[in-house]
């Protein structure tokens, strides 16, 4: 009699078994040959039935004895009635075709001494599942899981310090983070008051910089990708754009001071600083624009040309709408850079401290485009290194507001980019 354990038939074998055996734990077979012969008889009684049960042959010390915990099988073989191979060996890759064949082949292995069971060991004979993962597939899954775990740890190791820094800054800045701090102007060289004037100056700086840099950068990228011929002039321009992206910000500041403040006669002002930052941000905007335009399939252009559209009509109605989300990537990156730069604006218009009227329109919009201004990055540098007796909570609060401003602008830009991508037709 064969016992059933969780949809698996189990036969027991013991060296102390007897002739009157049925394979149960109370009356186990006295040898593995007897067990295999019983399996062969069972296969003949099934008369070719393709329903093959999962089977275990477990070796125990004595009849009716306590069964040891059965761990992984010492031997594992497979049966597949639909196997079409010419040389099956019972492996998962080449399973046997029937239970009868399996019993005969196992008997041969046992007689040759290649199949022996000791008490506590067992042999497993399983159905080969059609859609079961092969050893190669299981190995690939393990490799994939390991790689995924490593990448997850690496991502967490990058995100965790950022979260920790933001949490620490917020904790230190919390006593000073009030509405009064945001909407009042600095007094006593920044030792008291708030950050409204530097906040407005930063908004103006970023806004004017993007208004100057974005149209020029996008149009330059459109020309280089859509119109410019592939000659030595275009290659020199591309090289100049790449090299300009690697120029240190302090060098841009000196260039802006010489070109805009001195040569152009603009003077130290919001406009001069914005022009300097615009020059500094142009390379990334141009590069991102070219990459976004290049990602639009050429088939779109050819289909439009075949309909009789001009090159500009194709660019305006097909190429630009499908690449705008990629262009925004470069603009988003440069918004953060423009808001956080200190060296370029130090020479071109940013002031350590400017007195602001206590009331009236000028208390809310204290700077004009042709006037020096205060910026959050410069203000943070000043109150941290140049002015004594500034409460630490105010210093941390200034840093948190600057980070929050950058995150808010980036989040709005990313949301707009996602919206535009969702409207793509391809």
Q: What is the pLDDT of residues 20-40, one digit of tens each?
A: 788 888 888 888 888 888 888
Question: If pLDDT is split at 50, 70 and 90, which confidence band does 1 have?
Answer: very low
Report the pLDDT value the prediction gives residue 216, as an integer from 0 to 100: 92
Q: Measured between alpha carbons, how far is residue 285 from residues 206, 243, 280, 290, 406 in Å?
A: 15, 14, 10, 9, 18
Strand ordering across the sheet containing 3-5? 3-5, 8-13, 54-59, 122-127, 75-79
pLDDT of residue 96 exceeding 50: yes
Report the pLDDT value the prediction gives residue 332, as an integer from 0 to 100: 80
Report the pLDDT value the prediction gives residue 66, as an integer from 0 to 100: 63
pLDDT of residue 426 exceeding 90: no
Question: If pLDDT is split at 50, 70 and 90, which confidence band does 136 have?
Answer: confident
Which has the closest alpha carbon to 326: 418, 220, 244?
Answer: 418
Cα(406)–Cα(126) distance, integer angstroms: 61
Which has the closest alpha carbon to 213: 166, 157, 290, 276?
Answer: 276
What architecture (CATH level 2) is domain 177-422?
Orthogonal Bundle (1.10)
Residue for token pair 């006669």: 265
What percent of the chain lies above the pLDDT cut of 70? 91
Question: If pLDDT is split at 50, 70 and 90, which confidence band does 47 have?
Answer: low
Question: If pLDDT is split at 50, 70 and 90, which confidence band does 279 have?
Answer: very high
Under a CB-based contact definition with an 8 Å cutoff, are residues 182 and 196 in contact? yes
Between residues 70 and 142, the one the model is more confident about: 142
| Direct distance between the N- and C-terminal alpha carbons of the chain, in angstroms, rounded to an integer | 65
Report the pLDDT value the prediction gives residue 414, as an integer from 0 to 100: 78
pLDDT of residue 42 exceeding 80: no
Packing angle between helix 270-294 and helix 232-245, nearest 10 degrees? 120
Report the pLDDT value the prediction gives residue 167, as an integer from 0 to 100: 93
CATH 1.10.3720.10 segments of the chain: 177-422
Cα(156)–Cα(148) distance, integer angstroms: 12
- Please enumerate, as own/partner, the contacts of 20-24 that have beta carbons within 8 Å and a separation of 24 or more: none
pLDDT average, residue stretch 135-149: 87
Torsion of CA 274, 275, 277, 280, to 10 degrees: 170
Cα(206)–Cα(224) distance, integer angstroms: 26
Report the pLDDT value the prediction gives residue 425, as an integer from 0 to 100: 61
Q: What is the pLDDT of residues 367-414, one digit of tens each?
A: 888 888 888 888 888 888 888 888 888 889 999 998 888 888 778 777
pLDDT average, residue stretch 42-49: 63
Question: If pLDDT is split at 50, 70 and 90, which confidence band does 2 have?
Answer: low
Residue 356 tokens read as 């602001």
pLDDT of residue 73 exceeding 60: yes
pLDDT of residue 187 exceeding 90: no
Mean residue pLDDT across the chain: 84
Report the pLDDT value the prediction gives residue 169, as an integer from 0 to 100: 92
pLDDT of residue 48 exceeding 80: no
């Amino acid at each position: 009699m064969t016992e059933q354990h969780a949809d698996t038939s189990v036969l027991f074998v013991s060296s102390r078994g007897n002739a009157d055996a049925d394979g149960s734990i109370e009356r186990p077979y006295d040898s593995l040959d007897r067990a295999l012969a019983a399996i062969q008889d069972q296969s003949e009684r099934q008369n070719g039935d393709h329903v093959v049960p999962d089977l275990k042959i477990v070796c125990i010390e004595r009849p009716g004895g306590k069964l040891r915990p059965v761990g992984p099988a010492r031997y594992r073989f497979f049966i597949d009635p639909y196997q079409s191979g010419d040389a099956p060996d019972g492996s998962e890759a080449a399973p046997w075709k029937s239970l009868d064949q399996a019993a005969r082949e196992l008997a041969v292995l046992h007689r040759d001494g290649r199949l022996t069971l000791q008490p506590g060991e067992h042999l497993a004979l399983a159905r080969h599942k059609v859609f079961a993962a092969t050893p190669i597939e299981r190995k690939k899954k393990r490799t994939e899981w390991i790689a995924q775990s490593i990448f997850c740890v690496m991502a967490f190791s990058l995100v965790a310090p950022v979260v920790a820094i933001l949490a620490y800054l917020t904790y230190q800045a919390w006593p000073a983070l009030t509405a009064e701090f945001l909407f009042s102007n600095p007094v006593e060289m920044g030792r008291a008051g708030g950050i409204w004037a530097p906040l407005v100056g930063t908004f103006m700086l970023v806004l004017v910089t993007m208004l100057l840099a974005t149209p020029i950068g996008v149009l330059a990228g459109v020309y280089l990708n859509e119109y410019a011929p592939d000659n030595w002039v275009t290659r020199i321009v591309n090289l100049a754009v790449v090299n300009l992206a690697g120029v240190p910000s302090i060098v841009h500041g000196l260039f802006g001071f010489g070109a805009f403040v001195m040569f152009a006669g603009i003077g130290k002002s919001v406009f001069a600083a914005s022009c300097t930052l615009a020059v500094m941000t142009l390379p990334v905007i141009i590069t991102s624009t070219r990459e976004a335009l290049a990602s639009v399939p050429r088939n779109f252009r050819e289909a439009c040309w075949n309909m009789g559209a001009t090159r500009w009509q194709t660019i305006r109605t097909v190429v630009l709408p499908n690449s705008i989300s990629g262009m925004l990537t470069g603009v988003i990156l440069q918004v953060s850079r423009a808001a956080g730069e200190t060296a370029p604006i130090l020479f071109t218009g940013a002031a350590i401290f400017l007195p602001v009227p206590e009331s009236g329109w000028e208390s809310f919009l204290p700077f004009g485009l042709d006037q020096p201004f205060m910026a959050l990055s410069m203000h943070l540098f000043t109150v941290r290194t140049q002015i004594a007796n500034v409460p630490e909570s105010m210093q941390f609060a200034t840093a948190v507001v600057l980070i929050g401003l950058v995150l808010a602008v980036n989040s709005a830009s990313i949301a707009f980019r996602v919206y535009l991508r969702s409207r793509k037709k391809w």
